């Protein structure tokens, strides 16, 4: 039985007694004032409590490590935008494990503008307002999707084929980066437009074809394929993976960094 119920039950006989005494000694005219005074006076002897009137709002936060990584991502995206940033790469701080029901990031285009929503806190569903908001001048894209996107990208930017074949990137309206324990535990990227969910072992690399669209790299296992419609094999994004990987080729001078 809750404290509110107990106090209510204690008050019933008290109020009944006051009413009887008021009728006996004071008459009907003074009944209301006496009952009101008695009830108000009783609060001095009862514990202070509040039931359902106001929720205590806990501070919503995410790990400092994630805050720093998100800030670095936003700064990197900003450095990729504008004229003279065509077909170039940029590197941000690779995300650590975002945690089950932990931190997540969603990029979404609404009315021609791109917004970033960072979520975390209890159950990973509370919006972290100080890290969320519009990303001016940016439109999201991915190196994945039907039509040979990954193959065309791989052939030109990794294998070094001089001919650039379209499409080599895929514009999207939204994407979400999160952590999952489904299958192999780790960070994932979900792209609803493509009905695609892939691993997200991008080693912190981004690509822009035009200084406006910023492409993320969904990744696949390196076991059997270099690329597929689901993305690029993660070894090709890691300087320790392949001699012709993107970071190794950039270090050699081609392709270019933004």
pLDDT per residue over 65-84, tens digit each?
999 999 999 999 999 999 99
Give residue 17's pLDDT band: very low, low, confident or very high (50, 70, 90).
Answer: very low
Q: Where are the beta strands (DSSP E) in the chain?
A: 88-91, 104-110, 113-120, 126-127, 133-134, 139-142, 170-171, 174-180, 186-191, 196-199, 205-208, 213-216, 219-220, 227-228, 231-233, 256-257
Is the pLDDT at 56 greater than 50, yes or no? no
Same domain, 214 and 151: yes
Same domain, 41 and 68: no
89 belongs to a structural domain: yes
Structural domain of residue 41, as residue ranges? 3-45
Pick from 91, 212, 69, 233: nearest CA to 153: 233
55 belongs to a structural domain: no
In the predicted model, what is the mean pLDDT of residues 166-194? 96
Query: How much is the pTM?
Result: 0.77
C-alpha angle 37-39-42 in degrees, rounded to nearest 5: 105
Q: Alpha-carbon Rg of the chain, whole angstroms? A: 30
Same domain, 34 and 139: no
Which residue did the predictor score with more confidence, 142 or 19? 142
185 belongs to a structural domain: yes
59 belongs to a structural domain: no
**φ, ψ (nearest 5 deg) of residue 75:** -65, -40
CA distances from 45 to 7, 10, 34, 38, 218 (A): 11, 12, 17, 11, 65
Same domain, 85 and 153: yes
158 belongs to a structural domain: yes
Same domain, 243 and 119: yes
Number of domains in the chain: 2
């Amino acid at each position: 039985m809750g404290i509110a119920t107990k106090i209510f039950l204690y008050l019933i006989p008290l109020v009944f007694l006051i009413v009887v005494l008021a009728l006996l000694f004071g008459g009907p005219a003074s009944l209301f004032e006496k009952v009101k005074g008695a009830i108000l006076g009783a609060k001095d002897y009862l514990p202070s409590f509040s039931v359902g009137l106001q929720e205590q709002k806990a501070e919503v936060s995410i790990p400092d490590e994630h805050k720093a990584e998100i800030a670095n991502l936003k700064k990197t995206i900003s450095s990729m935008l504008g004229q003279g940033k065509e077909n170039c790469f940029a590197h941000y701080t690779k995300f650590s494990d975002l945690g089950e029901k932990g931190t997540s990031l969603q990029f979404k285009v609404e009315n021609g503008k791109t917004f970033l929503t960072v979520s975390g806190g209890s159950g990973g569903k509370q919006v972290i307002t100080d890290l969320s908001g519009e990303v001016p001048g940016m439109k999201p894209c991915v190196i994945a999707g039907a039509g040979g996107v990954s193959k065309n990208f791989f052939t030109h930017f990794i294998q070094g084929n001089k001919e650039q074949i379209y499409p080599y990137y895929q514009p999207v309206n939204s994407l979400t980066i999160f952590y999952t324990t489904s299958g192999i535990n780790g960070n994932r990227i979900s792209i609803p437009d493509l009905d695609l969910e892939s691993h997200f072992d991008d080693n912190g690399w981004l690509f822009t074809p035009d200084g406006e669209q910023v492409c993320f790299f969904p990744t696949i296992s390196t076991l059997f394929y270099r690329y597929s419609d689901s993305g690029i094999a993660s070894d090709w994004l890691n300087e320790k993976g392949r001699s012709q990987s993107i970071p190794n080729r950039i270090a050699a001078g081609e392709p270019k960094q933004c």
